[in-house]
Each structure stands twice: as C-alpha cells, then as structure tokens.
Amino acid sequence: MLYFSKLRITLVFLVTFFFIFITVSNFLDTEDSFMSKKINLGLDLQGGSYLLLEIDNGPVEIQKLQNTTTAIRNFLKDKKINFNDLRIENKKIIFNVPKDNAELVEIFFLDKESEINPYYNQYKSHQFDLEKQDGEFILKLSKYGLIEIKKSSQDQALEIVRRRVDEVGTNEPNIIKRGNNRILVELPGLDDPMRIKSLLGKTANLTFRFVTQNSNDTFGTEMLQFEDGTNEVMVSKRIILNGENLLDAQPQMNNQTNETVVSFTLDRVGARRFGKATSTGIGKQLAIVLDGKIVSAPTIQSVIASGNGQISGNFTFQSATDLALLLRSGALPAPLNIIEERTVGPDLGQDSINAGVIALIIGFLLVIMFMFFKYRIFGLIANITLLVNLFLLIGILTLFEATLTLPGIAGIILTVGMAVDANVLIFERIKEECKKEKNNIIAFDTGYVKSKTAIIDANITTLIAAIILFLMGSGPVKGFSVTLAVGIFTTLFSVYFIARMLTGLYVVRNKEKTKLI
C-alpha cells in the first residue's frame, strides 16, 4: 500500500542521509579513516601513465630444458647407459642411445608407474612430450607444459612488478593480468613514466662471479662488458651466489671515498657461501653482474664473513636507490617488454571531467524540465528522487573507494535516464488506473504494483548486460559496467522507497481531489 510505517520512513531517511553524508566526504579534507574515503579518479580523468608489458618466456623455457637435460644426463650415467650427442636444439632435447638400451630409456620416459622415473609428476601432468625418430629421442615441452610456464611466470612477474611500483610510492596503481603473458600497469597522476619504465624493463638478475684469465675454466667462461661500456673481461660461469640470497639492499654514502654505494645484507646461506668464496679468493676480482653486465669488479682484500657488503659503480643517489629497489624486490622470472604505452596529461584529464560534468548537468536539467512539465507535482517528486539517486550511487562508489573513469561517468548519465524511465512507466500506469478507479489511493497503489514487473524485468536484463561487460571487458569497460550495475540498484531503491513514500504522503493528504495526475 501507499501507507509507510514510521519505522520504514525512518529507515529510508537514515539510509538516504548516510549515503549523502558519504558523498559529501569526497569534498572534505580530513584524516578520519571513515571520512577520508573518496572516489579514485581513473587514468583518463586524473592523468597518468599506461603501460602494457609482455613477458618473454623464451629464457624460462630454455632454463627448464637445461635443468631437464642435466637430470637426464645424471640418470643415464647412474644407469650406466651409453649416450651421445645430448643437446638442446630448437627448444627440444635430442640424444642417442644404443639400441639395446632404447627400451630402458622408453620405460624411463613413458611408463608413468615405473619406479625409476623421477619425472613421474611432470609426465603425469603432461608437461613433456616424447618422440622417437630413427633411433633419436626427442623431448619437448607439451602445450600444457608451456601454459604452466606462462602461468607461473606471469604470477611471479605480477608480484615483483607490484613490489617495484609500490616501492616507488605511486598513488593508487592498478596492476592486473592481461591474457596469459601480459601485465597491465596503470599509474594515475604519473605523467613522467621514464623511471618506472627503467625499473620495469630490468630483470634484475644479480650474480657474483670470479673474473678469470683461464679460458679452460672447469665451469666455462664468457666475456662480459662493464655497464658503462668501457671495458670487457672474462668471467667464470660459476655462480658463487645470486639475488635470491639477498635479505636487504639500501643506498648509502661511503664515508671514505664520498661516493654513493649500495650496501647489501645476505641471508645465512648466502653469508656462508660469500665467506667461503672470499676466503679462497683473496687477491681475485669478484664481478658483480646485473642482467648480464658487470656493475663493478672489486678485488677481494680480506675474508667477508659477516654477510654484509657494498656494490660501487659511479652511482648517483637516484641510480643507487633504484638499484637497491630492484635488488630488494627480486629478479623477474623473465624479461618484460613494453608493447603499448600511453600518457595522459592532467590537463586532458581535467577537460574530460569538465565535459562529463557538463553533459551530466545538461541531461539532468532537461530531464527535470520534461518531468515537471509532464507530471507537475509528481514530476517534482521524480526529480527529487533522481537527485537522491545520484547521491546514493556516488555514495556507494565512495564507500567502496571505486575508481571513476570517463565511461563510468557515462554509466552515471545512463542511470539518470533509466531512473526517469521507471518513473514514466509508473505514472503512465497510474493514469490508466485513475480512469478505471475512483479511489485515488487504490489507483496509485495499483499503478505502482502493476508496473513493478515491467520495471524489474527491464532492470534485470540491463544488469545481466552489465555483468557480462564486467566479466568480459577490461579497464574502462569495467568502470562503465560497475556504475551501471550500482545505478540499477539505487534506481530501484529510490523509485520504490523514496518516490513511492513521497507520492504516498501527497496522495493521502489530497485523496479527495478529483484529479491528481
């Protein structure tokens, strides 16, 4: 019925004023944790940088194959099976064994229940495929194995990218997955992305290795260049320790030389390895290698058993800070390539806000004039409801600290149209009921009841579309779907609680009038 109990009226007013209060908090500057909740402006409104990163999984696949090759070699030696030409070629492991041992090798790879198969779990999950061609065994990663590598790399890279971005201190970054080998980074308010690009573009794979003059080193050697490109030296492939052994890294000033250095602290395992290496390598140069280039190569003067050390290399304080940040956050599992980049200036973002607000005001004013002209006092009620609906919508978005984008503003404008549509359906239905029913209260109540089905059906279909947009869309499309979905619920609340309550109060007081609408 049109009658509302005092408790119901009180609850409606409390809910309404609560969200109006939350909406107003967007314009207040306070340190209160509850009052400080605000709608975050998206990249297109606030300005900032957009980076789409793609993970290069090639090195990870090679590393996986190299580890598998080592395990195969150890197995064949352990079983005293002669083999030759064990190699990696075109991302495949290829080797030959004598014919009389071929069956044993096939059992090793193909019999998942075999006790001698150390790859049982890997083959059970189909990470590898095995082929035999003309006496050669060919092992390669399966499609499932490649998907597993991509998923693992993406999860690790996402976490490390998040650490690096958070360390820089950017405001409300948005870091999410895209597909199975891409990461989207949105940095509102950042209009100079060069430092972030530099940080994200480095794998930060840190290793400590000895400089050697012996090209016949047991572990193999390679020529590496210094980071500044001035020199090139021969370095052993033996890794004494790597970035995984680092506990902390911080930029510091060396009081003796007055140069900026990066001091680091090793974990217990790293400290033990470092102490052993420095005790046997006094007088040797220890190359500190970052992403395949030598940062510095100091000569070991004494044993370093404390687990603390320094990296020097003509750093500025900014470059030392960035290097320490990279080392603290850890190495990326695979290189990242920037495949798409956009920068939105704050002026352009403010222009978008102004355009959206103007569009909202114009639409709102036109709707108000139409409704008042068409339905008089009930048009005024609809307009009040419409205004409250906007407060409810913005209040809910504020409560959840949602991010508002330009498509989100479009969703708010669409909500205005949908709210008006619901009121028009109700008022037109009431007009029809007034022609058949002399009692105004019954006619108005029947109009609200009979129009409910059509309004709910229309809003449910729109909600389904919003959900699909949210699940299938990305970025700005999700922003549109969120505001649209929230707007559906606020519209139904404002129409069937606020508007109906105000309409009921007016009709009950003027029930003797012959024509109300």
- The DSSP secondary-structure symbol of 494 reads I
The single-letter code of the amino acid at 163 is: R
Separation between Cα atoms, residue 284 and residue 234, nearest integer Å? 13
- Predicted local distance difference test score (pLDDT) of residue 126: 67
Q: Identify any residues that bridge with 249 across adjacent strands, giving them in sequence order.
A: 264
Separation between Cα atoms, residue 294 and residue 229, nearest integer Å? 9
Question: Residue 254's CB: how many other CB atoms inside 10 A?
Answer: 12
List pLDDT tens digits, range 346-366. Answer: 666 677 778 877 887 888 788
| CA distances in angstroms from 410 to 67, 173, 343, 438, listed in the order given | 53, 23, 22, 42
- Predicted local distance difference test score (pLDDT) of residue 475: 67
Confidence at 31, pLDDT banded by 50, 70, 90:
low
Name the residue among 22, 1, 16, 23 with its Cα closest to residue 498.
Answer: 16
**How much of the chain exceeds pLDDT 70, in percent?**
90
Q: With 80 as the cut, is the pLDDT of residue 243 above it?
A: yes
CA 115 to chain centroid: 43
Name the residue among 159, 164, 109, 158 with its Cα closest to residue 137.
Answer: 109
The single-letter code of the amino acid at 238 is: R
Q: With 50 as the cut, is the pLDDT of residue 276 above it?
A: yes
The single-letter code of the amino acid at 234 is: M
Q: Identify any residues that bridge with 209 across adjacent strands, giving them in sequence order.
A: 287
Q: Can you give the residue ranges of every domain in the chain?
A: 6-44+347-509, 58-145, 206-314
CB 146 within 8 A of CB 129: no
Name the residue among 173, 187, 170, 199 with its Cα closest to residue 50.
Answer: 187
Token output for 379: 């048009």
Confidence at 30, pLDDT banded by 50, 70, 90:
low
- Predicted local distance difference test score (pLDDT) of residue 115: 42
The stretch 404-432 carries a mean pLDDT of 85
Q: Identify any residues that bridge with 289 across adjacent strands, giving them in sequence order.
A: 207, 294
Name the architecture of domain 6-44+347-509: Up-down Bundle (1.20)
List pLDDT tens digits, range 197-214. Answer: 888 888 888 888 999 888
Q: Which residues lie below 8 Å from residue 125, measured CB to CB, with a gap of 6+?
A: 144, 148
- Predicted local distance difference test score (pLDDT) of residue 113: 45
Question: Residue 397's CB: how many other CB atoms inside 10 A?
Answer: 25
- Predicted local distance difference test score (pLDDT) of residue 217: 75
The stretch 373-396 carries a mean pLDDT of 89
Question: 28 or 112, which is more confident?
Answer: 28
DSSP codes, 206-251: EEEEEB-S-TT-TT-EEEEEBTTSS-EEEEES--SEEGGGEEEEEE
- Predicted local distance difference test score (pLDDT) of residue 1: 56
Confidence at 14, pLDDT banded by 50, 70, 90:
very high
- Predicted local distance difference test score (pLDDT) of residue 81: 77
- Predicted local distance difference test score (pLDDT) of residue 465: 92
Confidence at 489, pLDDT banded by 50, 70, 90:
very high
Q: With 70 as the cut, is the pLDDT of residue 116 above it?
A: no
List pLDDT tens digits, range 294-311. Answer: 888 888 888 888 888 888
Q: With 50 as the cut, is the pLDDT of residue 119 above it?
A: no
List pLDDT tens digits, range 155-164. Answer: 989 989 988 8
Whether 206-314 and 6-44+347-509 are alike in CATH topology: the answer is: no
Enter the pTM of the model.
0.67
- Predicted local distance difference test score (pLDDT) of residue 105: 66
List pLDDT tens digits, range 179-198. Answer: 888 998 888 777 667 878 88
- Predicted local distance difference test score (pLDDT) of residue 493: 92
Q: With 50 as the cut, is the pLDDT of residue 123 above it?
A: no
CATH number of 206-314: 3.30.1360.200
Q: With 70 as the cut, is the pLDDT of residue 322 above it?
A: yes
The stretch 405-410 carries a mean pLDDT of 82
Most confident of 33-37, 136-140, 152-156, 345-349: 152-156
- Predicted local distance difference test score (pLDDT) of residue 309: 83
In the chain, how long is the greatest CA-to-CA distance? 109
